[in-house]
Structure 1
Amino acid sequence: MKNVFVNTENANRFAEALTALERRGAQEACLMVVDGKPGLGKTTTLYRWAVQNESIYLRAKKEWTPGWFLADLLNEFRIQPAHSYASRFEQSMEAMLARQSMMAARRKTFCIIIDEADHISSNKRIMESIRDFSDMGDIVFVLVGMGKIRDNLTMLPQVASRIAQYVRFEQGELIDVQRFMREICEVPVGEDLSAFIHQITHGYNREIKEAIANIERAGKRGDYTPEKPMQLADMAGKLLVNDRKSGQPIYVPEIV
């Protein structure tokens, strides 16, 4: 399997939302929420974007306190955190503004991406700290979760009002499966096999990659080419993926 990032429809929606956020009218509306079920590529997409744009990627902890949050943030800037919360806040603001200015000179957006943000979306103290950074420094924060953030923020309207963009990662479409087959699968795959993979995996990136690994395992023993790709019948009786809910193996039917 090739180590290549696949631009899915979800990744494209995130990029479009970020562009829209950059053009926002209200300067204090600097927050974005990205949510969706596990296995749809949120972490891969957001981490890759952070690396490419010299932004900060953090993974929220269930027991995060405001001080711990700022310590993790400062560590990403390779800055030794001060002892007091007030000093850490000042250190963080200075570091973010400096990076933001540098990226603005390159005409790029700087932001702080916080994955697993369901853990903190009901924590008033941490969310108020994020709001302060956003308001005072025009810093963009992207909160990534699995569907609880929007509901939790209804209890914090002063934070919810700062959200400029909501992006929901949905189960992939057939075109996404075809992109995965074309761009990372090392065995050429026919349309009927791609369609079956979409049907069985329900468009989850994680399962699509699992299917690709099994296809490559079976297909590398054959003589498949772009002109003569592997078809669904070639996988008959072979393992495709494990069921997401039950964990039971799913095989391609012998008669297809």
Structure 2
Amino acid sequence: MKNTFVETSNVKRFLTALSALEQRGAQEACLAVVDGLPGLGKTTTLKQWVAQNGAVYLRAKKEWSPSWFMNELLEELRVNQPPHSFQKKFQKVVQELALRNAGAQMARRNFALVVDEADHISKKETILETVRDISDIIELPVILVGMGKVNDHLTRFPQVASRVSQKVRFEKATIDDVRLLIEKRCEVKVAPDLATFVLKVSQGFNREVLEAIANIERFGLRMDAADIGDQGVTLADMAGQPIVNDRHTNQPIFVPEQY
């Protein structure tokens, strides 16, 4: 399967929100929340964006304390011999992020602190206030990535919630998204009827779509080239073949003999 990043409708909405974040009116309103069910491509999208822009990515932990958060952030910022006191850790984090933020602005690049799995911290006032302090001091965009509950939890902390200027919800893939993923990632041509079936069995989850593409590709590469029609591998061609695993039972789903 081709190692290509695909700009699905979710990715486009995310990039549009980031552009709006850069052009915000109130400079302190520089938080964004990205949420949606697991398997819709949030982490893949954010990691791709982070790599392209030299941003900072952290994955929140369930038992994170403010100090643990600071330690991981300093490690991600590659600070050798970090200070011991929380106050000095905080000052060092602000200093390092400010330098990177200024460098990105000079290079006309987007920059942000991305905190994935933010559901783990969305009820922890001390960590959220630390994030707010960092963001306020250097007007640094912070992107909180969660699984649908972050916005609800933040309503309990008005000082933080009021700074969220962009909210992006990742939705299930459309047929156009599935066709685009197949076109850009699959090494064999795929017929429209099989693409439609992939949408149905994947239920619009990117994770299952990519699994289906891998199975189609494996099957298609074993076929005789003369047997593949102009439309590509069809539903009939793959009759009886496994295409994805059911995400609830982990049992394989097979292409039906008759459809």
Q: Which TM-score tier does this pair reach, normalised by the shorter chain?
A: over 0.9
Secondary structure of 1:113's counterpart equals strand
In 2, Cα distance between equivalents of 1:82 and 1:178: 51
AA matched with 2:13: R
Quote how far apart the aligned CAs of 1:226 are. 8.2
**Contact in 1 for aligned 2:192/2:231 (Cα 8 Å):** no
Q: Any idea what the Cα deviations from partners look like across 1:46-102, whole Å, max 9, x if unmatched?
A: 011011101000000111111111111111111032101100110000001100010
AA matched with 1:97: A
Secondary structure of 1:92's counterpart equals helix
Q: Any idea what the Cα deviations from partners look like across 1:12-32, whole Å, max 9, x if unmatched?
A: 110000000111111110100
Secondary structure of 2:110's counterpart equals coil
Counterpart of 1:65?
Answer: 65
In 2, Cα distance between equivalents of 1:228 and 1:165: 41
Secondary structure of 1:203's counterpart equals coil
Counterpart of 1:141?
Answer: 142
Quote how far apart the aligned CAs of 1:248 are. 2.0
Secondary structure of 1:75's counterpart equals helix
Counterpart of 1:162?
Answer: 163
Counterpart of 2:31?
Answer: 31
Over aligned residue pairs, what C-alpha RMSD do you find?
1.1
CA 1:106–1:246: 2 relative to 1, 3 Å: same
In 2, Cα distance between equivalents of 1:208 and 1:228: 19
Instruction: Give the unaligned 5+ runs of structure 2.
Output: none
Counterpart of 1:6?
Answer: 6
Match of 1:251 among 246, 249, 254: 254
Match of 2:230 among 224, 227, 242: 227
AA matched with 2:31: L
Matched, 1:44 2:44: yes
Quote how far apart the aligned CAs of 1:228 are. 4.2
**Contact in 1 for aligned 2:30/2:141 (Cα 8 Å):** yes
CA 1:69–1:229: 2 relative to 1, 3 Å: same
Matched, 1:151 2:152: yes
Q: Scaled by the length of structure 2, what TM-score is found?
A: 0.96
Match of 1:241 among 244, 249, 252: 244
Q: Any idea what the Cα deviations from partners look like across 1:165-218, whole Å, max 9, x if unmatched?
A: 000000000011101110111111011110110111111111011101111121
**Contact in 2 for aligned 1:31/1:165 (Cα 8 Å):** yes
Counterpart of 1:16?
Answer: 16
AA matched with 1:3: N
Secondary structure of 1:209's counterpart equals helix
CA 1:105–1:225: 2 relative to 1, 3 Å: farther
Number of aligned residue pairs: 256
In 1, Cα distance between equivalents of 2:60 and 2:189: 39
Counterpart of 1:109?
Answer: 110
AA matched with 1:212: I
Residue range with higher mean Cα deviation, 180-189 or 217-226: 217-226
In 2, Cα distance between equivalents of 1:225 and 1:157: 59
